[in-house]
Structure 1
């Protein structure tokens, strides 16, 4: 008789958090999806803004007897949350729970699975109510969150180019005939959504899909849609459509499971060539070797009365 393999350590899905109740619900449904398809235990928590807080989730796993977990950051780019805040929060948990250890997965993007999911969201936006795609080539504005980390912003540019390659780059006879794919950001970086739309208009685009590069619903994706609608109202000759976020789906679950398995196998190929904490980049010299500590989170008991953020910025997700 074959003895079934022992399940691996729990998968701990770590999100940043959002003030939007729909985004919290999306995260919860996604964690449930992972639980249905995985044999190891699956838990998920946030580092701030919304329940369940990471510290309670880790305490629950520890109380159930788990002493090793695989933490996968549910982030698309390796910005401050993935590079510093989540590892810093996990470091706190190691102090609180003697004998606990964890392996850390890498951020989700860029990845071919994400490009496929983005393509599906784009096609749904182009189909509209009739269910049939409109005629003629479309342009795409890929909108990322935006960061003070140039590496993270550059990655959104990379995703935009990867999305265009094979879907129209080089001429309308290739792929889906996309006219072009341009990147933009909703906060902390430029071009903004209106600036990106204006660039596409100046390039001759008349049909534009605003494609949010976000996992779940939230304050910032809503802002992307609001700014796209405001620009469209001022330019009635343009056909501007806003696609949905990536959302809770099997494709995203496939990718998280892949990152979990990578973490357990030790196959973590993090890109450090353009990381401001390792490499001296012009304008960011002061960040080289900077300690990676979590900023203050009001849901964490270690923060006492502090509700500020160590990075000096305000979060709205």
Structure 2
């Protein structure tokens, strides 16, 4: 199914799309997501709303709630470049909660943008624009390219940046195309530019692999300018980010079709949460993945300047997640969830948020209850244990040792 293809009109009458962006304190970045949502609606011919993971409104849960009253099926399409923790953990967790809140609604979740041919073509055009600015021709001059991405703690996401750089190099007349990152991981931009200078190219094109023209894009431009000044024998300049180019709609259209037909292929073979990768052994497993997602959410929620930013709120002292996936649900986890909430409401000392969770990777040992930030996982929990978890652990920080399944 190509990105320009549409499903039959009858199949679309009761469907909407939620385009999920990261969210930013810079309203210009949020407007970019809304612009792409409007353009995608024109492309697909069905309603497309914008939602945000954090820092902007509406949040994913609120956006889905708004659509639930008008359609019976929502397809979530992710405006994320790579499959790091937001794609693998945070968005699925938010969608799972929405499924619990709207049982009458069918929600499909799409993949990230990834390494798509349309994105390679877009990068090629961005490079050509810089070449024209510098007055060089890759067919005649030695032109090097540095693709600079944000950088992640997820090796799978970082490897996709290298893949894109290789795809950009293949079949084109660049002298070389190297990968760099502006933060978190290596090689950093400055290091990559200095290494490229040793090959004495005529020009170096720096391509910010970013959606918007934000702080990180500005740092990339500054890095290219500093390199241009430091090496007078090499002309260097940075290109524009991806922006709202229509080729993004090609990719988003493909991701929509994959999601709504349940043919999404995630990068599970190299996902640090699914397999053991050297140096990332502690990140393996559904339990750890879910904890990381909750940790990230609370780190953004716990702010001091609540009055200045309405998108922020004080985080509770603890967060409890109850697995309500099929196996745990059959063992009585919904009753455990309700009893925990009741006991917490009745407690004067309890500062906690209690939510549903998707599978925690401990099927057969449930119902499972996870307490964050303590990293304590209770297994085989029943309704009578809920009172002890609240009165001992949540109220007084005393672990209920006889039902502990594991600690992280």
User: What's the TM-score bracket when you normalise by the shorter of the two chains?
Assistant: 0.7 to 0.9
In structure 2, distance between residues paired with 1:119 and 1:158:
14
- Tell me by how many angstroms 1:78 deviates: 0.7
Moved over 4 A (4+): 132-135, 301-304
Counterpart position of 2:42: 36
- Tell me by how many angstroms 1:307 deviates: 9.9
Counterpart position of 1:227: 223
Counterpart position of 2:315: 306
Counterpart position of 1:120: 125
Q: 1:206·1:239 contact (CA, 8 Å) conserved in 2?
A: yes
- Structure 1 pair 5–101 and aligned structure 2 pair: CA distance change class (3 A): closer
Counterpart position of 1:107: 112
- Secondary structure of the corresponding residue to residue 128 of structure 1: helix
1:162 aligns with 2:167: yes
In structure 2, distance between residues paired with 1:49 and 1:236:
42
1:210 aligns with 2:206: yes
Q: Choose from 52, 58, 73 the match for 2:58.
A: 52
Which deviates more from structure 2 when the two are superposed, residues 26-35 or residues 75-84?
Answer: 26-35
- Tell me by how many angstroms 1:281 deviates: 0.7
Superposed counterparts of 1:1-317, under 5 Å: 4-7=9-12, 9-62=15-68, 64-128=69-133, 133=137, 136-167=141-172, 177-289=173-285, 290-292=288-290, 293-294=293-294, 295-296=296-297, 297-298=300-301, 304-306=313-315
- Tell me by how many angstroms 1:203 deviates: 2.1
Q: 1:276·1:284 contact (CA, 8 Å) conserved in 2?
A: yes
Which deviates more from structure 2 when the two are superposed, residues 207-216 or residues 180-189?
Answer: 207-216
- Tell me by how many angstroms 1:129 deviates: 8.1
- Tell me by how many angstroms 1:99 deviates: 2.6
- Secondary structure of the corresponding residue to residue 279 of structure 2: coil
- In structure 1, stretches of 5+ residues that fail to align are 168-176, 313-317
Which deviates more from structure 2 when the two are superposed, residues 155-164 or residues 28-37?
Answer: 28-37
Structure scoring higher RCO (CA < 8 A, sep ≥ 6) equals 1
Q: Larger Rg: 1 or 2?
A: 2
- In structure 2, stretches of 5+ residues that fail to align are 1-7, 320-371, 374-408
In structure 2, distance between residues paired with 1:214 and 1:133:
25
In structure 1, distance between residues paired with 2:77 and 2:55:
19
In structure 2, distance between residues paired with 1:119 and 1:83:
29
Q: 2:200·2:234 contact (CA, 8 Å) conserved in 1?
A: no
- Tell me by how many angstroms 1:60 deviates: 1.4
- Tell me by how many angstroms 1:270 deviates: 1.6
- Tell me by how many angstroms 1:258 deviates: 1.0
